[in-house]
Amino acid sequence: MKKLIKHIFIVFYSCTLLGACAATNGDPPMERDINERGSDCISIRTIRDYTPLDNSSLLIEGSGNRFYYVTLGMSSFELRGSHRIGVESRDEWLCPYGGDGLVFDGFSTMGPTSIRGISRVSAEQADELLYRHGRKERPQEQDSAPPELDGAEVEDIGEEPPTEQSGRVPPGNIGAKVEELGQIG
């Protein structure tokens, strides 16, 4: 009976390990690296710009090329159409705790929108967030060189000798052609 329980335990443990190994990829997606419930704070004086990503998240650019991914406590339809944001805080720091919030376009019917999380992200992560939310287009990859062609054949057509019928004047007969044209007119 002990052997049977031991074998069942080993099989169960092996299946669990196998499932865990099969579920992991080589590189995790960049979104998993970004903590949506981050506890970073932003100095309000350093906020330079912001980009709404969807109704519940935005990307804030601070001074020194610092980017912050901000998730809101609840979805706000005012976010996507806003042209400016206001900050409600007790001090000079915008944090996801302490009652800090954002007001869009300077007013809000429901008061400030609470902040669920603020995470500092790298410039590459900020670009990836903009690509994923359709706020920026990915650059088109350029071909390095045109492909080489194998066995292109060239056919020698030759040149038709100049005659008066072809309308082309032989190099030595330019004067004769000019006289001929003068008689016509």
Instruction: Encode pLDDT of 139-181 as tens digits.
Output: 887 666 666 666 666 666 766 655 555 555 555 555 555 555 5
The mean pLDDT value for 41-60 works out to: 93
> Residue 175: its pLDDT value, please?
53
Which three-class secondary structure state does DSSP give residue 55?
Answer: coil
Start-to-end CA span in the chain (Å):
122
Give the type of residue at 109.
Answer: T
Say how far apart CA 145 and CA 15 lie, in whole Å.
49
Radius of gyration of the chain (CA): 36
Give the type of residue at 6.
Answer: K
pLDDT digits (tens, 9 = 90+) for 68-103: 999 999 988 888 788 888 899 999 999 999 899 999
Say how far apart CA 149 and CA 136 lie, in whole Å.
37
Name the helix (H) or strand (E) containing 60: strand 57-62
Cβ partners under 8 Å of residue 148, min gap 6: none
Say how far apart CA 2 and CA 22 lie, in whole Å.
30
Say how far apart CA 30 and CA 51 lie, in whole Å.
19
> Residue 185: its pLDDT value, please?
47
pLDDT digits (tens, 9 = 90+) for 3-35: 878 767 676 666 565 565 554 444 345 455 677
> Residue 76: its pLDDT value, please?
85
Q: What is the pTM of this model?
A: 0.58
Say how far apart CA 172 and CA 185 lie, in whole Å.
23
pLDDT digits (tens, 9 = 90+) for 105-128: 756 667 889 999 999 999 999 999
Say how far apart CA 72 and CA 46 lie, in whole Å.
20
Question: Are the CB atoms for 84 and 60 separated by under 8 Å?
Answer: no
Say how far apart CA 57 and CA 99 lie, in whole Å.
18
